Each structure stands twice: as C-alpha cells, then as structure tokens.
C-alpha cells in the first residue's frame, strides 16, 4: 500500500489502482454524511478533483493521485457514507483507476513514511 500527502491510500490490483482515504483522514473529517463519486469511464489527470466528501465538520475534495481512467466506483459508500468512518482503508475504497504507468507509485510514501508524515 502507498500513501499520498493528501491522505489517500493506493493499493495495486493487477493493472488497476484502488484509491481511498486513510484512517487519519477519516478521523479528521468526522462523521461522513455524503459522498459523490466520479463517473465510470472518466479520464482524470493527477490532482483533478474527482470525489466530493462531506462530513459533519467539513466538505472536502479528493484528488486523483495519478493520471488514468476511472473504471469502477464503490456505490456502497454512496448508499452508506458512514462506511468511510468504519473501514476507510478496506471496504470503503472510493474508486479504481486504470493507470498507464504503475512506476509512478514508487515515489509515494510507504506506511512507515506516512505514519511519520502525520505525526
């Protein structure tokens, strides 16, 4: 698993990258009450706003961590946004991205580096 400074996690599944927010981010947001996911098939560039997430504390945008195509979204978190708080680094993933160049993940933080980053 890799991590971004925007508190996203990325997990490689074959030629896809699964993207979600970290437990730290979910904790900072508070109770999530709304999630708007991108359209499947959408081409995104790194740092494009792709997800809107609202909590009792704030509204935030989730940015695309890499260039690619959205190939799947997790409708379960739209129907039950609270899942983001319950299992942010597991079942509450946001979207799957088909990425041309998986080597871009090499520059991202591993878990130890991310823990140091948030401390």
The CATH number given to whatever domain includes residue 40 is 2.40.50.100
Whole-number percent of the chain with pLDDT over 90:
93
Q: Nearest-CA neighbor of 102 among 7, 37, 13, 24?
A: 13
Instruction: State how many domains the chain has.
Output: 1
Three-state DSSP class for 8? strand
Q: What whole-number distance in Å separates Cα of residue 101 and Cα of residue 25?
A: 26
Cα-Cα-Cα-Cα dihedral sign, residues 64, 30, 74, 77: negative
Which pTM does this prediction carry?
0.94
Which residues form the domain of 96? 2-101+109-118
The DSSP code sequence of 71-88 is EEE-THHHH-TTHHHH-T
Q: What is the pLDDT of residues 80-109, one digit of tens each?
A: 999 999 999 999 999 999 998 899 899 999
């Amino acid at each position: 698993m890799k991590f971004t400074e925007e508190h996203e996690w990325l997990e490689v599944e074959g030629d896809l990258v699964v993207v979600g927010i970290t437990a730290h981010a979910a904790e900072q947001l508070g109770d999530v009450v709304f999630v708007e996911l991108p359209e499947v098939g959408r081409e995104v560039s790194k740092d494009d706003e792709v997800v809107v997430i609202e909590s009792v504390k704030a509204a935030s945008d989730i940015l695309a961590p890499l260039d690619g195509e959205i190939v799947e979204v997790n409708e379960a978190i739209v129907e039950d946004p609270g899942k983001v708080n319950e299992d942010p680094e597991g079942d509450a993933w946001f979207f799957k991205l088909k990425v041309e160049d998986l080597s871009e993940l090499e520059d991202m933080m591993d878990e130890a580096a991310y823990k140091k980053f948030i401390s």
